[in-house]
Amino acid sequence: MEKQALEQLNQAVQVLLKDARTQVLAAMGQTLTIDEKTSRKDLVTNVDRSNENFLVQRLRQLDPQARILAEEGLGDQVETLAGHVWIVDPIDGTMNFVHQRNHFAMMIGLYIDGEPTLGYIYDVMADKLYAGGPIVGVTLNERPLPAPRDAPLAEGLFGASGPLLIHNKYQMQTIAQTSLGPRILGSAGVQISQVLAGELVGYLSYLRPWDFAAGRVLAESLGLVVSQVDGTPVNMLSSGAVLVATKSAQRAILAIVK
Ligand code: IPD
Ligand code: CA
Ligand code: CA
Ligand code: CA
């Protein structure tokens, strides 16, 4: 896609996310319908579904030929990354959304023939929209976002996932001890945005494609690295333990995990 066309698309997606935020804030004033998916710790609400429907419909208007992979199943059955594939998480951090009414995000990623192209993480309550990609550049609320310093693990806070830290999977406790301290927020999107902003030197969690599709685009555009916890490349159609980190922190973490 031409740079100019991507820039227009980038603007249009930011507009649709602002519209989605307005609707989500309005829906938060009404009673939520909350259902359990696989367990009491895996929730979905009417707002996850209605926002996914809204995002999918608006993306179809913008990019009619594309296929859309969306968490709650209102998009398409996507089995390959050929052509334009949008990956959508309508509310990331549903547990926070339900119990805190805070610390949740909307996320959208665009992959063209498998190439990370556009990414959006919108921290709804903080009203912080991280947007862009390798060709159009990365912005935070429309202002260019500088690349974070290549800080080592020992000099930064580390974004942990609760389950991995509790069960010490992938040596998470050693990783946390080596860092200046672990931070657990319960939204992959918000935590990855903190890595983008240089507030965390890394984040490690077991993630599904929609949890890291947007973050991967933005992180790689800013010189951060995104890989599986063993250092091998991520695949946008499968789940796994995904590490988003500075290059230095990644080196230290891979040495700990090996
Ligand atoms: C979840 C959150 C959480 C992470 C889980 C995700 P959801 O996303 O990002 O922080 O630990 O793995 O599934 O289900 O609220 O969109
Ligand atoms: Ca979910
Ligand atoms: Ca998610
Ligand atoms: Ca979600």
Whole-number Å distance, alpha carbon 74 to ligand 4 midpoint, is 12
Give the pLDDT of residue 40. Answer: 97
pLDDT of residue 161: 95
Q: What percent of the chain has pLDDT over 90?
A: 99
Of the ligands numbered here, which is closest to the C-alpha atom of 188?
1
- The first and second tokens of residue 79, run together, are 């089995």
Residue 165 has pLDDT above 90, yes or no: yes
Going from the Cα of 93 to the center of ligand 4, the distance in angstroms, rounded, reads 6
Pocket test for ligand 1, best of 187, 203, 207, 244 (most atoms within 8 A of CB): 187
pLDDT bucket at 99, cuts 50 / 70 / 90: very high
Q: What is the pLDDT of residues 120-149, one digit of tens each?
A: 999 999 999 999 999 999 999 999 999 999
What does the pLDDT average to over 106-130?
Answer: 98
Q: How far is the CA of 206 from the centre of ligand 4 (A)?
A: 14
Nearest alpha-carbon partner for 127 in 13, 244, 14: 14
Pocket test for ligand 1, best of 37, 44, 92, 192 (most atoms within 8 A of CB): 92
Average model confidence (pLDDT) for the chain?
A: 98
For ligand 1, whether the C-beta of 93 sits within 6 Å is: yes
Torsion (CA) 11, 12, 13, 17 in degrees, nearest 10? 100
- CA gap 107, 98 in Å, rounded: 18
Residue 46 CA, ligand 4 centroid: distance in Å: 12
Ion ligand 4, residues whose Cβ is below 5 A away: 71, 89, 91-92
Please compute, for residue 112, the number of CA atoms within 13 A of its CA located in the half-sphere on the CB side. 11
Whether the CB of 96 sits within 6 Å of ligand 1: no
Interface confidence (ipTM) of the complex: 0.98
* Atom of ligand 1 lying closest to residue 95 CA: 15
pLDDT digits over 18-72, tens only? Answer: 999 999 999 999 999 999 999 999 999 999 999 999 999 999 999 999 999 999 9
**Quick one: which of 128, 185, 137, 177 has its CA closest to 159?**
185
When pLDDT is cut at 50, 70 and 90, the band that residue 1 belongs to is confident
Domains of the chain: 3-144 (3.30.540.10), 153-257 (3.40.190.80)
45 ligand 1 Cβ < 6 A: no
How far does the centroid of ligand 4 lie from the alpha carbon of residue 48, in Å?
A: 7
Distance of CA 211 from the midpoint of ligand 3 (Å): 4
Ligand 1 contact via 211 beta carbon (within 6 Å) = yes
- In the structure, what pLDDT confidence band is assigned to residue 101 with cuts at 50, 70 and 90? very high
Sheet containing strand 157-159, edge to edge, reads 181-183, 157-159, 202-207, 240-245, 225-228
**Average pLDDT rounded to a whole number, residues 216-244:** 98
